[in-house]
A and B are shown apart, each in its own frame.
Chain A
Amino acid sequence: MTKTITIDGKTIPFEDGQTIMQAATAADVYIPHLCHHAEFTPHGSCKLCTVKVNGRVCSACTFPASEGQDVLNNTKELNDDRQKITQMLFVEGNHFCPSCEKTGNCQLQAVAYHLNMLDNHFPLFYPHREMDASHPDVMIDHNRCIFCTLCVRASREHDGKDVFAISGRGINKHLIVNSESGLLKDTDLDMNDKAAHICPTGAILIKRTGYQVPIGQRIYDHHEIDEVSLAMEHHHGE
């Protein structure tokens, strides 16, 4: 007999060892997320995938599914809180969507659309953050980093390198690269590395590829992130 959990009343099968996120994705149920990616070890830091499991708040991407769990996901209460958490990500960095190359392809922006975020709500931090354009093919704009660690994990787990890491504490957290100079050009990052392409925002961009797809014709200009995300993750699962 297959084991099952329920998400918003819908019965969903799972296999031992699966997280709630994995079980949900397999059953075509979207749980909003930014730091989660089906190919890499879950991190559990962005907290957008917060769900209620038997009344207790848990991160769906790290919490193991187990028999009989009653999971709440797509509720007004949770989506309101997710919207606030997204707003937190916006105000702590410098995110100016209209002038960003990633606009329309940005998952942070798309999640904000999905959660019906209409303003920043919180006061902006306006942090001073640098750019690193030293690498011939790849650039980092720290203004847009949300510390999801996908580049860190992709470099370690997929590329077999250790190009990126998150350093610092609290609100002073920042992305660093593994080179004596601290510059991207002195790391062993190659533009074909997975880590160079995984960023959900516009913090890591490939040079000389900007605006090849006009604004207005980009992914999230025409599709909701739930649909795109499920399709992509099913593709990874195959």
Chain B
Amino acid sequence: MQVFIENLAASHNYQSTRLLQILRAIQARYHYIPEAAINQLAGLLGIPGTQVTGVVEFYSFFHSTPRGQYELLISDSITDAMLGKHSLMQHLSEKLQLAVGAVRSDGLVSLDNTSCTGLCDQGPAGLVNGYALTHLDRARIDLIAELINQQKPLAEWPGELFEVDDNLVKPGLLLARPIAQGEALRATFNRGLQETLAEINQSGLRGRGGAGYTTGWKWHLCYEGPEEDAFCDVDAQKQAQRYVICNADEGEPGTFKDRVLLNSYAHQVFEGMTVCAAIIGASQGFLYLRGEYLFLYDKLQTVLAERRQAGLLGDNILRQGLDFDIEICLGAGAYICGEESALIESLEGKMGIPRNRPPYPVTQGYLGKPTVVNNVETFLAAAAIAVKGASWFAAIGTEKSKGTKVLSISGDCSRPGIYEYPFGTTIQTILDDCGATDVLGVQIGGPSGTFISNQELQRKLAFEDLATGGSFIIFNNSRNILDSVHNFTHFFAHESCGFCTPCRVGTSLLKKQLDKIVEGHGSAGDVVALEELCRLVKNHSHCGLGQTAANPILSTLERYPELYQSRLKKISYEPGFDLDGALDIARRMAQRNDAAAHLTQTEAEHD
């Protein structure tokens, strides 16, 4: 192992910024990160051992105790649950004779849940040693269990298990006609850099990750850099290092558009990044690819190689004197890294903890240098605007939301997949297109977004009405809303980075309080207490995760208060402490579960 790690660190030039990539390789090779590896790495990279330990313990895909040679993870997204994930998981658990969360005693296989894998249009889905498994059903589960028991190497597993479809159902303005390779760069150099920035500005393009910051303005601020640079002469200002980062960490449950954009439109995404680099004066770019999309990695490397070959990347791009290259960095299972400053920390080889702002990444980003972080779809759109101009883009959409939005549609509909719509389209139109009937409501923008009921289907897709990073999950009338609220609330507690008190403790308290009500232990004051807690977590959390973690509860409590009230007991007070639950360990030790081994909590239950 010592030699393996020495060579590995050498291949990454002993750069501590490469820590996640190095740990990914160790995890893949040994199925855990041994203590000795942590100490050796700390020495080789010149960082405290605590930084390595911190990173290992922060990311879901790293483990400090051995996992199975086959690490099986099944997606815990609500859409997978709707497709029968729970009974499949039970079946898988029986087939492998392995409890969820455990490693089999022979060390061959481990099984666990994982947050949404971005395959909601072809779930139930999972990961084996990091590679995506789609369309799981009983037959596939049986096959997988057999392959594992036979110890077949992954390379010999049938290819159809790993097939990922694009499911591009409705291409629009951007996706129907992708630009030709190099077209945006040529247009940019012909028109002039400042002139192209002006086009991006005038197009009204706003960030597609969900927050909607004006893209042109972000690029402009990064080009200007920190105030102190403004006093440098123009040449010195140009020499300052700047970075372009493409945020492909789409972790919002129900989102999978970036998967398709990177699978089929990668050239245009990379071209958008290169246009940005030309404008702001960056020589280095990064694609931060979520760990779940490992299956795209080799393909994307090939695309980068093609672009270097074609003179569209590397030194002296299109002989215009622009030097710019892109590196792909994989994440390791942390939703929080979709937040731009947490993503930057992660790229620097640290835990993904959002930074205090100001300063913003445009002035102090990666390694403290001015950095543009944009969503995959934003770069895709920017490349098209560089070719076709501002008015082509701005002619579509609404006053405050120009252009189109790519949606990932999943849940109860007959045609889940990728749809592109002009901003301003009504939700009803979208539901009609994807074959959704008997609709109860739609979760727009994922758990951190808004739940709308079937009384609001005339509302519009737009920053000024329903903003979304792309997630669009449909629920029909057979669904229980509280199931999704339960799933989402547990998701946020699992993904909270733990930096600030209101989110670290608050999301866990939300989980406890919601469970108490959903499981029928709530009493009169409990819904009020839940609402109060929601307000605290929303108002006081450090970043967007905590600020939106209560949205699933708040948006359903507003629309279906009776649903919550109906779960309450008709007694004035129910203790938060579950006396019978606390005896669970004793029951397991005594190996009994008969009625006499249970306690009831209230007089009412005795009657």
Do the two shown chains form a genuine complex with each other?
yes
Chain B, Cβ-Cβ closest to A121: B529
A35-70 CB mask vs B (1 if < 8 Å, else 0) is: 000000010111110100000010100101000000
Partner of B508, one of A44, A46, A171: A171
> Given the complex, which residues of A lie within 8 Å of B512, measured CB to CB?
123
A84 at the A/B interface (Cβ < 8 Å)? yes
B145 proximal to A (CB < 8 A)? no
- The segment out of B45-53, B109-117, B478-486 that lies at the interface is B45-53
Which B563-596 residues have a C-beta within 8 angstroms of A? 576-577
A47 with B498: CB separation less than 8 A: no
User: B540 contacts A50, CB within 8 Å?
Assistant: yes
Q: Is A170 engaged at the interface, CB distance under 8 Å to the other chain?
A: yes
Contact status A169-B500, CB under 8 Å: no
Known contacts A59-B356, A165-B54, A178-B48; A170/B494 CB under 8 A: yes
Asked if A172 is an interface residue, CB under 8 A from chain B, the answer is: yes
Are A170 and B496 in contact (CB-based, < 8 A)?
yes
Q: Which of B39, B50, B499, B501 contacts A162 (CB 8 A)?
A: B50
* Residues of chain B lying within 8 A (CB to CB) of residue A220: none
As a 0/1 sequence over residues 343 to 354 of chain B, the CB contacts with chain A under 8 angstroms (1 = contact) are: 000000001000
**In chain B, residues 7-49, which have Cβ atoms closer than 8 Å to a Cβ of chain A?**
35, 39, 48-49
For the complex, give the distance between the alpha carbons of A196 and B40 in Å.
27
User: Using Cβ atoms and an 8 Å threshold, which residues of chain B touch A167?
Assistant: 50, 53-54, 57-58, 351
Digit string of A66-101 for contact with B (CB within 8 Å is 1, else 0)?
A: 000000000000000100110011011000000000
CA gap between A169 and B54 in the complex, in Å: 9
On whether the beta carbons of A62 and B356 are closer than 8 Å, the reply is: yes
CB of B240 closer than 8 Å to a CB of A: no
Of chain A, the residue at the smallest CB distance from B494 is A170
Is the CB of A214 closer than 8 A to any CB of chain B?
no
Residues of B within 8 A of A64 (CB): 358
A85 and B501 within 8 A (CB): yes
Given contacts A59-B356, A123-B577, contact A169 B51 (CB under 8 A): no
Contacts of B498 in A (CB 8 A): 147, 168-173
Asked whether, in the complex, the Cβ of B539 is within 8 Å of the Cβ of A46, the reply is no
Whether a CB of chain A sits under 8 angstroms from the CB of B370 is no
The 8 Å CB contact of B57, one of A47, A62, A88, A169, is A169
Q: Does B509 contact A (CB under 8 A)?
A: yes
What is the chain B residue whose CB lies nearest that of A146?
A: B501
Contact at A91–B497, with CB atoms within 8 Å? Answer: no
Measured CA separation A50–B536 after assembly (Å): 12
Least Cβ–Cβ distance between B553 and chain A, in angstroms? 16
Say whether A180 contacts B49, CB under 8 Å.
Answer: yes
Is B500 in contact with A45, judged by CB distance below 8 angstroms?
yes
Query: Does B505 reach chain A (CB closer than 8 Å)?
Result: yes
Asked whether, in the complex, the Cβ of A165 is within 8 Å of the Cβ of B540, the reply is: no
Query: In the bound complex, what is the Cα–Cα distance between A42 and B541 (angstroms)?
Result: 17
Residues of A within 8 A of B542 (CB): 44-45, 47, 59
Chain A residues with CB under 8 A of B135: none
Q: Say yes or no: is A219 at the interface (Cβ < 8 Å to chain B).
A: no
Whether A173 pairs with B49 at a CB distance below 8 angstroms is no
Nearest opposing residue in chain A for B507, CB measure: A170
B118 CB contacts on chain A under 8 angstroms: none
Within 8 Å CB of B509, what residues of A? 88, 91, 122-123
Min distance, Cβ A167 to any Cβ of chain B, angstroms: 4
CB distance from A144 to the nearest CB of B (A): 15
Are B48 and A45 interface neighbours, CB within 8 A? no
Check B57 against A168 for contact (C-beta < 8 Å): yes
Instruction: Provide the residues of chain A in CB contact with B494, threshold 8 Å.
Output: 170
Interface size in chain B (residues, C-beta < 8 A) = 39
Question: Given A88-B506, A169-B57, do A46 and B50 touch, yes or no (CB 8 Å)?
Answer: no
B500 near A123 (CB under 8 angstroms)?
no
**Chain A residue with Cβ nearest B506:** A88
- CA–CA, A84 and B533, complex, Å: 9
Bound-state CA distance A167–B350 (Å) is 11
Given A62-B356, A123-B577, A171-B496: A88 in contact with B539 (beta carbons within 8 A): no
Cβ of A164 within 8 Å of any chain B Cβ, yes or no, is: yes
User: Within the assembled complex, what's the spacing in Å between the Cα atoms of A52 and B343?
Assistant: 28
Give B575's nearest chain A residue, CB to CB: A123
Least Cβ–Cβ distance between B544 and chain A, in angstroms: 13
A47 to B356, CA, bound (A): 12
Which residues from chain B contact A172 at a C-beta distance below 8 Å? 57, 498
Chain B residues with CB under 8 A of A168: 54, 57-58, 498
From B358, B495, B497, B508, give the contact of A125 (CB < 8 A).
B508
Establish whether residues B58 and A81, one from each chain, have CB atoms under 8 Å apart when the complex forms. no
CA–CA, A162 to B48, complex, Å?
7
Bound state CA distance, A47 and B539, in angstroms?
Answer: 11
In the complex formed, the residue of A with least CB distance to B492 is A170
Q: Is there a chain A Cβ closer than 8 Å to B447's Cβ?
A: no
State in angstroms the CA–CA spacing of A84 and B501 once bound together.
10
**Interface membership of B493, Cβ < 8 A:** yes
- Which residues B491-533 have CB closer than 8 A to chain A? 493-502, 504-509, 512
Q: Which of B358, B501, B536, B539 contacts A45 (CB 8 A)?
A: B501
* A176 interface residue per 8 A CB criterion: yes
Chain B contacts of A177 at CB under 8 A? 50
Known contacts A123-B576, A123-B577, A171-B493; is A47 also within 8 Å of B505 by CB?
A: no
Chain A 165-192, CB-CB to B under 8 Å as 1, else 0, gives 1111111110011111000000000000
A223 to B494, CA, bound (A): 40
From B58, B497, B540, B577, give the contact of A85 (CB < 8 A).
B540
Chain A residues near B577 (CB-CB < 8 A) = 123
B493: A residues at CB distance < 8 A: 170-171
Q: From A179, which residue of chain B is reached at the shortest CB distance?
A: B49
Q: A59-B356, A168-B498, A176-B50 are in contact. Are A91 and B539 (CB under 8 A)?
A: no
A171 to B577 alpha-carbon distance, docked (Å):
19
Q: Which residue of B lies closest to A92 (CB)?
A: B505
Q: How far is the CA of A85 from the CA of B535 in the complex (A)?
A: 12
**Contact, CB under 8 Å: B39 / A84:** no
Closest chain B residue to A125 by CB distance?
Answer: B508
Are A176 and B53 closer than 8 Å at their CB atoms?
yes
Which residue in chain B gives the minimum CB-CB distance to A152? B50
User: Which of B50, B59, B494, B536 has the most C-beta atoms of chain A within 10 angstroms of its own C-beta?
Assistant: B50
Q: Which residue in A84, A92, A122, A178 is a CB contact (below 8 Å) of B504? A: A92
Q: How far is the CB of B530 from chain A (nearest CB, A)?
A: 12
Q: How far is the CB of B241 from chain A (nearest CB, A)?
A: 23
Within 8 A of A (CB), among B114-165: none
Verify if B304 is at the interface (C-beta below 8 Å from A).
Answer: no
Contact A88-B48, Cβ < 8 Å, known A42-B356, A168-B57, A170-B493: no
Q: A59 vs B576: C-alpha distance in the bound complex, in angstroms?
A: 32
> Closest approach, in angstroms, between the C-beta of B80 and any C-beta of chain A?
22
- Give 20 new A-B contacts, CB below 8 A, not counting A170-B495, A171-B493: A44-B356, A45-B500, A47-B501, A47-B541, A62-B356, A64-B358, A88-B502, A88-B505, A123-B512, A165-B50, A168-B57, A169-B351, A169-B498, A170-B493, A171-B496, A173-B498, A178-B48, A178-B49, A180-B35, A180-B39
The 9 lowest CB-CB distance pairs between A and B, nearest first, are: A165-B50, A123-B576, A88-B505, A173-B498, A170-B496, A162-B48, A167-B54, A62-B356, A170-B498
18 contacts between A and B (CB under 8 A): A46-B500, A59-B356, A59-B542, A81-B540, A88-B502, A88-B506, A125-B508, A168-B57, A168-B58, A169-B57, A169-B497, A170-B494, A170-B497, A170-B498, A171-B504, A176-B50, A178-B48, A178-B50
Binding site for B on A (CB under 8 A): 42, 44-48, 50, 57, 59, 62, 64, 81, 84-85, 88-89, 91-92, 122-123, 125, 147, 162, 164-173, 176-180
